[in-house]
Amino acid sequence: MRTVDFHAHPVPASFRRWLELLGIDPMEDDGFPLPKWSAKEHLKFMDEAGIDYAVLSLPGPHIHNGNDMISLQAAVEINDEMSEICREHPDRFGWTACLPLPYVKGSLEEIRRCLDEKGALGVKVPTNANGIYLGDPDLDPVMEALNERGAVVIIHPCRVRECPKRVITGTVAAIYEYPADTTRAVLNMMAHRIMTRFPDIRFVVPHCGSFLPYMLSRFSGVSGILSSLGMMETVDAQAEFDRLWFDTAGDPEPVALNMLRMVAGDERIVYGSDYPHSPAPVIEKKKTHFDANTDYTGIREKIYAENAAVLLKEKGT
């Protein structure tokens, strides 16, 4: 069975170098070190795990430290390296460009350069960039450019700028802040009708939708009350949600994937490994269990490859 991985992270040398130059410390920002990575090791993992193709998207931390021009320079160099890696392995890797958000002008330049000239499949965006969240009207020009290209947009969580420090959820971002910030960003996108205003963008939400399976009905109810009181514009939350795609990175079994399937169609779910942030043996164990679970008989083909072909608009990928 063919498998396409929509949540796979390169950690190229240029990314490590620019984080240091930008003064961004992964341990301070995310509470987790950047793992070792090479294209050779990634391909070895894919062979062992039975993954045919991976869509590479840069992990956190986000590459903007407050200086627009330096962050744009970082994005250019990182994107060039990712493009070269994928050029050397076109049958195994595709890539999504990183953007110097919230710098709109520089992001538009990289969208044009990477998607129109360098063969990027789309872009990766953080849930927030220096506190500017997806859905913010200031980012509408970026959404317009992505919509014009029918781009794949992979969302990746980013730690909120301020969070409590003396609790476990405030230390390692992956425990709570990642799913919380993903949910926060997507709800903001729904409130600003991003998915229906820019219908040709193909957004991929990580980690089985994070907290969205729980929040969808709550947001629908509360937003309806607020709109009736004139406190926000009326929004069809279900219509916004129905345009999203979701990956299975993290711990989809035994709860998260079933919760997602209660609110999202099976045709909107794609596979995600989260390599190399999740160790190869752990991913392989999870994948073996998923393959053997009869609850998913009949939908594995969709999650592993069929939905990916639709998402990439390229049958047989």
Unique residue bearing structure tokens 């409590």: 164
Angle of helix 104-111 versus helix 140-148 axis, rounded to 10:
10
CATH code of the domain covering residue 20: 3.20.20.140
pLDDT in tens, 298-310: 999 999 999 999 9
Q: Check if the beta carbon of residue 252 is closer than 8 Å to that of residue 274.
A: no
Residue 79 in any domain: the answer is yes
The answer, yes or no, to whether residue 317 has pLDDT greater than 50, is: no
Residue 174 domain-assigned (yes or no): yes
pLDDT value, residue 20: 95
CA 12 to chain centroid: 18
pLDDT the model gives residue 238: 95
Mean pLDDT of 258-280: 96
Q: What is the total count of domains within the chain? A: 1
For residue 176, what pLDDT is reported?
A: 82
Residue 31 binned pLDDT confidence (cut-offs 50, 70, 90): confident
Q: Is the pLDDT of residue 138 over 50?
A: yes
- CA 109/CA 43 separation, integer angstroms: 31
What is the per-residue pLDDT for 98?
98
* 208-257 pLDDT tens trace: 999 999 999 999 999 889 888 888 888 999 999 999 999 999 999 999 99
Instruction: Report if residue 268 sits inside a domain.
Output: yes
Residue 35 lies in a domain: yes
The share of the chain scoring above pLDDT 70, in percent, equals 98
Q: Is residue 16 part of a domain?
A: yes
- Per the structure, the complete domain to which residue 172 belongs is given by 4-311
Of 189, 165, 188, 192, the C-alpha closest to 177 is 165
Average pLDDT of the chain? 93
pLDDT at 122 over 60: yes
In this predicted model, what pLDDT tens digit does every residue of 44-69 receive, in sequence order? 999 999 999 999 999 999 999 999 99
**pLDDT at res. 315:** 35
Give the pLDDT confidence score for residue 1 in this predicted structure.
Answer: 63
Considering the domain boundaries, does residue 38 fall inside one? yes
Question: Per residue in 167-188, pLDDT tens?
Answer: 877 777 878 888 999 999 999 9
Strand partners of residue 204: 154, 245
Terminal Cα-to-Cα distance of the chain (whole angstroms): 13
In a domain, 192, yes or no: yes
Residue 316, pLDDT > 50, answer: no
Per-residue burial over 118-146, b = 16 or more CB atoms within 10 Å of its CB, e = otherwise: bebbbbbbbbbbeebbbbbeebbebbebb
| Model confidence band, residue 314 (pLDDT cutoffs 50, 70, 90) | low
Q: Which of 91-95, 227-231, 312-316 has the lowest mean pLDDT?
A: 312-316
317 within domain boundaries: no
Provide the residue type at 153 as one letter.
Answer: V
How many other β-carbons are positioned within 10 Å of the β-carbon of residue 108? 16
